[in-house]
Amino acid sequence: MPPRDEKIQVDQRKFEPGLATIPAQAYRKALKSGFRFNLMAIGEPSLGKTSTVNTIFKSEIYNEQFVSSTQRIANSDSLIVQEFDLKLKENGVPLILRVIDCPGYGAFIDNSNQVPTIVSYLDGRHRRQFDQEMDIDRDIEKNDDELVHCCLFFFSPNCRTVKELDLECLKAIHNKVNVIPIIAKADSLTLDERHELRKEILRVFEKNKISCYAFPENVDDSQAALIRKFVQKIVRKSEFFVKMENSTFNSIDIIDILSHLR
């Protein structure tokens, strides 16, 4: 049995605050408060946006309280930007997911006011975040992250190029949010058709200088590098299978920006 003084010294060292305890404190704080992720989905009706979001987060995001965009545009005559928050938990890690949907996008004869509506929403988010940061009495723990972290942009597989509305929208938002382009229902195309559509979309992006999210080249953290390598492998496989509401499977095509736009 160790001397009493040595035992007391060990206990003091165990609870002594210092630089070495900062990572553990940050970890406990993150687990307690959780993380926030703001996700926007843009695309025409019936392209599988609901099923894609449900599959990504392995949860029924849309339910009786939050119905899908196809159901919400039935009584509307223009695009509306709607958002709702959900609390998810995976392996004890809480996530507050904010889904921003744009029901009515490309669904009407006159779509001229749709892009300004989306841009106005994104600009409002930036202004709100700026006001929070500039507030002298701001409470960092209580302030929510107002920025939109990611935008899933869905392209219809029925077109052989980027639609004018999609191009106008991408030009307006690509500098305001991280855009991830997706060819919806890619299994309805042959491999050659899919390849040609991918090439055409990337050509339009390059011609119009539209930037999309790209993974950073230099990653110091070994775990972050492993995740990056895993996601790149999925992206380059081209197909991502999505479970539909009727239990059948569809697929989307995540465009590989990494190898074509660099």
Would the pTM of this model clear 0.75, i.e. be above it? yes
Domain-located, residue 37: yes
Mean pLDDT check: name the lowest of 46-60, 64-78, 169-183: 64-78
Domain-located, residue 22: no
Residue 262, pLDDT > 50, answer no
Residue 229 is predicted with a pLDDT of 66
Per-residue CA distances from 153 to 16, 49, 156, 222 (Å): 50, 9, 10, 30
Domain-located, residue 172: yes
Domain-located, residue 7: no
Task: Find all residues with CB under 8 Å of 155, minimum gap 6, and list them.
Answer: 43, 162, 166, 181, 182, 183, 184, 197, 201
Q: How many residues does the chain have?
A: 262
- The distance of Cα 155 from the centroid of its chain, to the nearest Å, equals 16
Residue 138 has φ and ψ, to the nearest 5°, of -65, 145
Share of the chain above pLDDT 70, in %: 67
Averaged pLDDT, 217-242: 59
Residue with more model confidence, 51 or 258 = 51
Left, alpha or beta for 155 (phi > 0: left; psi -120 to 50: alpha)? beta
Range(s) of the domain holding residue 147:
33-260
- Total structural domains within the chain: 1
Domain-located, residue 210: yes
Domain-located, residue 4: no
Residue 250 is predicted with a pLDDT of 59
Residue 122 is predicted with a pLDDT of 96
Residue 159 is predicted with a pLDDT of 87
Express each pLDDT in 105-122 by its tens digit: 998 888 989 999 999 999
Report the CATH number at residue 213.
3.40.50.300
DSSP state, residue 212 = -
Residue 49 has φ and ψ, to the nearest 5°, of -65, -45
Residue 124 is predicted with a pLDDT of 94
- The distance of Cα 205 from the centroid of its chain, to the nearest Å, equals 20
- The distance of Cα 63 from the centroid of its chain, to the nearest Å, equals 20
Domain-located, residue 84: yes
For the chain, give the mean pLDDT: 77
